[in-house]
Amino acid sequence: DTGVSQDPRHKITKRGQNVTFRCDPISEHNRLYWYRQTLGQGPEFLTYFQNEAQLEKSRLLSDRFSAERPKGSFSTLEIQRTEQGDSAMYLCASGLYYEQYFGPGTRLTVT
């Protein structure tokens, strides 16, 4: 069990640029989640995949955000035209049923 991995761990970008993050879930897990966490807060749900189908999306996921899980394995989260308010830790989690196991996160800083 290698755990959930995320890449990159840190990303610094200028406002207006596009960024893409990758998540590799635990291999036998069919459910994959994205959350966002700002300083001093608990994670907030963004979106959920079961296999390759995106089943749930939060209202937090504006039209600048898009997530994919093309073959039901790894997932990508893209943010277009980044804004300073997008600065946060982006967390990926995977699971089989009710439990969710988190990766180490990608820390995004928008300057």
Partner 1 sequence: GQQLNQSPQSMFIQEGEDVSMNCTSSSIFNTWLWYKQDPGEGPVLLIALYKAGELTSNGRLTAQFGITRKDSFLNISASIPSDVGIYFCAGQHLETSGSRLTFGEGTQLTVNP
C-alpha triplet 90, 86, 42: angle, nearest 5°: 50
| DSSP code of residue 63 | T
Between strands 10-13 and 106-110, the pairing is parallel
Q: Does 29 bind partner 1 (CB under 8 A)?
A: no
CB of 32 to partner 1, least distance (A): 10
CB of 72 to partner 1, least distance (A): 16
Q: Does 42 bind partner 1 (CB under 8 A)?
A: yes
Q: Does 25 bind partner 1 (CB under 8 A)?
A: no
CB of 47 to partner 1, least distance (A): 9
Strand partners, 23: 6, 75
Q: Which stretch binds partner 1 (CB under 8 A): 12-20, 53-61, 71-79, 80-88?
A: 53-61
Q: Does 60 bind partner 1 (CB under 8 A)?
A: no
Write the DSSP assignment of 42-78 as a string of letters.
--EEEEEEETTEEEEE-TT--TTEEEE-TTSS-EEEE
Binder among 11, 19, 24, 48 for partner 1 (CB under 8 A): 48
